[in-house]
Amino acid sequence: ARLRSNSIDYTERETSNRPSDDLTGTGNDKFQWDPTSWHTKPIVQDVVYSSMKGVEKALQKLEALPPLVSPYEINNLQEKLRDAALGKAFVLQGGDCAELFDYCSQERIESKMKILLQMSLVLIWGTKLPLVRIGRIAGQFAKPRSKLTEEVNGQVIPSFRGDNINGFDVSERTPDPSRLVSAYFHSAATLNYIRSSLSSGFADLHRPFDWSLSHVQSSAVKARYRTVVDAITEGLSFMKTVGADKSSTLESIDFYTSHEGLMLEFEQSLTRKLQDPRNGERKWYNTSAHFLWIGDRTRQVNGAHVEYFRGIMNPVGVKVGPSMTTDELVSILDVLDSDYVVGKVTLITRYGIGNISQILPTHIEAVKRTNHKVVWISDPCHGNTKSSTSGLKTRDFEDIMNELALALQIHKDNDSQLNGVHLELTGDAVTECIGGSAQLTHEDLEVRYDTVCDPRLSESQSLDVAFLIADWCTQ
Ligand code: PEP
Ligand code: MN
């Protein structure tokens, strides 16, 4: 059945941890899975619609629409993540906290691709490793919230849950199922523009100055970027001299899409049984994005999200926050990676600057004691969100840099390796995180605070992060 059974009380399901819900312990049967088997599991962050008719209609439409990405592409990403897990590639995953339908414009898509490409250059140069680029883009629409309501001008209204559920505008906060279909078309248009730009030379390594540092004020950062570009240009001209520049990988790159797999009705509708081109067997692929992750709020080992995720072929991520116990972590890996595929699971750690030193070593140890080989990525943003003096949500750039530096060091000290970074960023000159080479202060936040959810790194702060990693690797 497309919809969950009526015997489930949708209103009650809104509250997260009902005492009767067994959210711990594994009871997942490996051989009994289909895209709707999560319906029988307790769910958190659920969306309650006023009528299920509209939901049914939306899901029916989604089921009829073609896949957005293919098994071939998904398998390719899985192979690259295997390399990352083995320390032979580095992952850069980044983009908005909440992507809006309105971000589906030429300018916005280009600026996000541009910052990811600029960072890639710096990271390739620094890590000396092939880079795996994954955007939080073309579908990053659903948001988990710590509070389901908020007060606006003295009125209590539902919180914004992401453009595929309700609208940011206070008049649009009622969940609207037609937004699920809209999400598909905005993903498709975004993905189409990414694909056409890449196949037309947008990422050509011979033209890195085209990705100009339009919003970077600091002359020191500009000069460092120029050094990297000069080094790469020199390398390319040498390759031309010796006739080794014919590879098409210099003119284009692989770029993958990702989002939090939160809205399971949507994910279920885009999950298709398709032929695995490697062996012709038909398997379940989530065709809405190449990579999906489970948020820190929805990672209960016996909950609906883990149940959904365990059945798809896509490589998957799990956000790992400070409340994750080592036992839970191992149970989640046992469920999501029951076949022990190297790089199948990416652990995206987001502890916060005050927690990482204590927790990360225990998590590294716990995973080492298993036969799971994971990709370790640091998300230095989500554990470091705080309130600014004016009440805006912000992050201190120092905390972000320090958590990332600690992640690199702690992995090294524990005979492990950090395989990538996950960031909330934008290619624009926003003022949402304080600090960085632009030295933004609490007072500066008002200047261009554009985010509808979490504060993002600006173009210049993002490059600072890339240089931190590059410096650490070259020191
Ligand atoms: C996010 O990545 O936007 C997010 C909500 O993260 P987390 O689940 O780690 O809190
Ligand atoms: Mn976020």
What is the average pLDDT across 276-294? 97
Cβ of residue 456 lying under 6 Å from some atom of ligand 1: no
The residue whose CA is least distant from atom 10 of ligand 1 is: 296
Contact predicate 176/112, CB 8 Å: no
Cβ of residue 455 lying under 6 Å from some atom of ligand 1: no
Banded pLDDT at 11 (limits 50, 70, 90): very low
Banded pLDDT at 247 (limits 50, 70, 90): low
Banded pLDDT at 439 (limits 50, 70, 90): confident
437 vs 47, higher pLDDT:
47
Q: Which residues pair with 420 in a beta bridge?
A: 91, 377
Cβ of residue 296 lying under 6 Å from some atom of ligand 1: yes
What is the average pLDDT across 94-115? 96
Q: Which ligand is nearest to the CA of 319?
A: 1
Contact predicate 373/333, CB 8 Å: no
Give the three-state DSSP class for 277.
Answer: coil
Please give the structure tokens belonging to residue 463. Answer: 């490059």
Tell me the C-alpha to C-alpha distance, in Å, between residue 458 and each of 126, 280, 401, 463: 21, 44, 14, 9
Contact predicate 346/317, CB 8 Å: yes
Residues with Cβ within 8 Å of residue 160, at least 6 apart in sequence? 98, 143, 145, 166, 167, 168, 173, 452, 453
Question: Is residue 218 over pLDDT 90?
Answer: no
Please give the structure tokens belonging to residue 374. Answer: 């994971």
* Burial bucket for residue 53 (CB in 10 Å: 0-12, 13-18, 19+): exposed
Cβ of residue 97 lying under 6 Å from some atom of ligand 1: yes
CA of 454 to the centre of ligand 1 (A): 9
Give one DSSP letter per residue of 393-449, joined into a string: EEEBHHHHHHHHHHHHHHHHHTT----EEEEEB-SS----SBBTTTTB-GGGGGTT-
Q: Which mutation among 306, 400, 454 tests ligand 1's pocket best, with the greatest number of atoms within 8 A of CB?
A: 454
Among candidate residues 370, 293, 354, the one with its CA nearest the CA of residue 322: 354
Give one DSSP letter per residue of 76-134, joined into a string: HHHHHHHHHHTTSSEEEEEE-SS--GGG-SHHHHHHHHHHHHHHHHHHHHHH-S-EEEE
CA of 424 to the centre of ligand 2 (A): 7
CA of 161 to the centre of ligand 2 (A): 12
CA of 95 to the centre of ligand 2 (A): 10
Amino acid identity of residue 111, one-letter, is S
Cβ of residue 382 lying under 6 Å from some atom of ligand 1: yes
Please state the atom number of ligand 1 nearest to the C-alpha of residue 136.
Answer: 2
CA of 423 to the centre of ligand 2 (A): 9
Cβ of residue 295 lying under 6 Å from some atom of ligand 1: yes
Among candidate residues 153, 147, 105, the one with its CA nearest the CA of residue 393: 147
Question: Is residue 307 over pLDDT 80?
Answer: yes
CA of 280 to the centre of ligand 2 (A): 38
Cα 38 from Cα 34, distance rounded (Å) = 8
Please state the atom number of ligand 1 nearest to the C-alpha of residue 144.
Answer: 5
If you search the block for the tokens 């899409």, which residue do you land on?
Answer: 257
* Burial bucket for residue 150 (CB in 10 Å: 0-12, 13-18, 19+): middle
Measured N-to-C along each axis, helices 219-241 and 106-127 cross at an angle, to the nearest 10 degrees, of 70
Q: Which ligand is nearest to the CA of 453?
A: 2
Tell me the C-alpha to C-alpha distance, in Å, between residue 199 and each of 118, 193, 257, 446: 18, 10, 16, 38
Q: Which residues pair with 292 in a beta bridge?
A: 259, 316
Cα 118 from Cα 121, distance rounded (Å) = 5
CB atoms near residue 157 (< 10 Å): 15
Please state the atom number of ligand 1 nearest to the C-alpha of residue 379.
Answer: 9
Please state the atom number of ligand 1 nearest to the C-alpha of residue 348.
Answer: 9
437 vs 190, higher pLDDT:
190
Q: Which mutation among 140, 141, 259, 319 tests ligand 1's pocket best, with the greatest number of atoms within 8 A of CB?
A: 319
Return the minimum-mean-pLDDT range out of 18-22, 185-189, 242-246.
18-22
Please state the atom number of ligand 1 nearest to the C-alpha of residue 97.
Answer: 3
* Phi, psi (deg, nearest 5) at residue 166: -140, 180
Please state the atom number of ligand 1 nearest to the C-alpha of residue 454.
Answer: 3
CA of 316 to the centre of ligand 1 (A): 14
Strands 393-395 and 385-387: antiparallel
Contact predicate 350/320, CB 8 Å: yes
Instruction: For residue range 325-384, list pLDDT tens digits in order.
Output: 999 999 999 999 999 999 999 999 999 999 999 999 999 999 999 999 999 999 999 999
The residue whose CA is least distant from atom 6 of ligand 1 is: 295
Banded pLDDT at 9 (limits 50, 70, 90): very low
Q: Which ligand is nearest to the CA of 350?
A: 1
Q: What is the ipTM of this complex?
A: 0.99
Residues with Cβ within 8 Å of residue 168, at least 6 apart in sequence? 100, 160, 452
Cβ of residue 80 lying under 6 Å from some atom of ligand 1: no
Q: Which mutation among 296, 393, 403, 454 tests ligand 1's pocket best, with the greatest number of atoms within 8 A of CB?
A: 296
Contact predicate 118/423, CB 8 Å: no
Give the three-state DSSP class for 170.
Answer: helix
Q: What angle do CA 299, 305, 309 make, to 5 degrees?
A: 105
The residue whose CA is least distant from atom 3 of ligand 1 is: 97
CA of 263 to the centre of ligand 1 (A): 14
Cβ of residue 144 lying under 6 Å from some atom of ligand 1: yes
Q: Which residues lie near ion ligand 2 (Cβ < 5 Å)?
A: 97, 454
Give one DSSP letter per residue of 11-80, joined into a string: TGGGSS--TT---SS----TT---TTGGGGS--SS----S-HHHHHHHHHHHHHSPPSS-HHHHHHHHHH
Please give the structure tokens belonging to residue 351. Answer: 């502890």
pTM of the model: 0.92
CA of 97 to the centre of ligand 2 (A): 4
Instruction: For residue range 368-410, list pLDDT tens digits in order.
Output: 999 999 999 999 999 999 999 888 999 999 999 999 999 999 9
139 vs 475, higher pLDDT:
139
If you search the block for the tokens 């067997």, which residue do you land on?
Answer: 281
